[in-house]
Amino acid sequence: MQARLAPAPETGILTFLSVSLNVTASHPMEDQIQSLNVSALEAIRSCTDESQIEAERVRLLGRGGELTAFSERMRELSKEEKPRIGKVLNEVRTAVTAALEERKGALVSEREARAFRNVDVSLPGMAFPSGAMHPITQLLDRTVQIFRRMGFCLADGPDIETEWHCFDALNTPADHPARNEADTFYLPDGRLLRTHTSTIQIRTLEQMAPPVRIIAPGAAYRRDEVDATHLAQFNQMEGLYVDEDVTLGDLRGTLEFFFRELFGKDAEFRFRPHFFPFTEPSFEVDIKAAALGGGRWLEIAGCGMVDPAVFEAVNARRGERVLDPERHTGFAFGFGLDRLAMILSGVPDIRHFTDGDQRFLSQF
């Protein structure tokens, strides 16, 4: 009988020792175990994939496995033989288990090496296209940030509105052109798509008491012929500040600060008297700035001091005098984001904003 070294060195030594100590008293079962050891290690070495390894494991160590069978036969042995041959069986089982593990590990790394053989890690990686914010969203975010720094908070209101919120409460008489069927999208039930975000002035004053300081971005809808500078749906930014002692100076200071933050310190302003039903006095704001192409005046906003008729409409609706025209004053403003984004981003046609064309959008 020949002592064999199993693959794992420590078990190999044990096998050698146990065998050499017992050269005189060999038992047929011990020989059978040793020869199974030899054939098992040989079979494991010649496995060429992981499923063969698994088959070997089951054949040798499984419930009906060949080595397992020897454990059951231990009871055939005498008291003197049992510990010695039991030890040999244990060592062989350990050696076979280690050989299975080792061969399996080698096969896994071979398989992985094969998978990577044709991969050139020096090639440039795949570029994943990254998204970007829509130019109007970018402008909106900057706008909100600037007003937040001045203590304005965000307010909201529905796109589908009542005539009262859109017109009556805003002191806009029944014969005002904005209320015309040809200018406004009416729903069959008499509600409408808001023609401006000034509705949120009313929505806010219905809920809050002064001091009120809000901005409200949102969509507005008009029956405009769609062309390079008009869409039937566009984006507005509304502002409202109501408190005691709010003055026209506050309005000018707020808007000039805001637009200078956005377009640069060089911006110049013109407040031209205008008419809005819900502000008195009312103005249109013109701006001239290098960032906006310099040279020419651009009309960018409507604004004014809140008309006391607006306060009274809200008081009547609330059934309490939260707004006292003797005590409270306020200013309101509104401007469109689309046209500003067009100028800032050099976009020649407003329709690009809503086309959803990747080639356009990926430029920002």
- Give residues in contact with ligand PHE (CB under 6 A): 196, 198, 276, 279, 302-304, 332-334
Distance from C-alpha of 46 to C-alpha of 91, rounded to nearest angstrom: 21
Neighbours of 335 (CB within 10 A): 22
CB of 243 to ligand PHE, least distance (A): 17
301's tokens = 């906003």
Residue whose CB is less far from ligand PHE, 33 or 136: 136
CB of 195 to ligand PHE, least distance (A): 7
In three-state secondary structure terms, 190 is: coil
Residue whose CB is less far from ligand PHE, 277 or 325: 277
CB of 133 to ligand PHE, least distance (A): 25
Would you say 241 and 254 are in contact if contact means Cβ atoms under 8 Å apart? Answer: yes
Residue whose CB is less far from ligand PHE, 49 or 224: 224
Residue whose CB is less far from ligand PHE, 221 or 276: 276
Would you say 88 and 20 are in contact if contact means Cβ atoms under 8 Å apart? Answer: no
CB of 283 to ligand PHE, least distance (A): 8
Residue whose CB is less far from ligand PHE, 15 or 171: 171
Residue whose CB is less far from ligand PHE, 143 or 279: 279
Q: Which residue is nearest to ligand PHE (CB)?
A: 334
Distance from C-alpha of 158 to C-alpha of 316, rounded to nearest angstrom: 21
Residue whose CB is less far from ligand PHE, 104 or 194: 194
CB of 167 to ligand PHE, least distance (A): 11
Phi/psi of residue 153, nearest 5 degrees: -115, 170
- Residue 21 gets the label, from left (phi > 0), alpha (psi -120 to 50) or beta, of alpha
Distance from C-alpha of 348 to C-alpha of 364, rounded to nearest angstrom: 15
Give one DSSP letter per residue of 197-214, joined into a string. TTHHHHHHHHH--SSEEE
CB of 304 to ligand PHE, least distance (A): 5
The amino acid at residue 32 is Q
In three-state secondary structure terms, 358 is: helix
Strands 153-154, 212-221: pairing kind: parallel
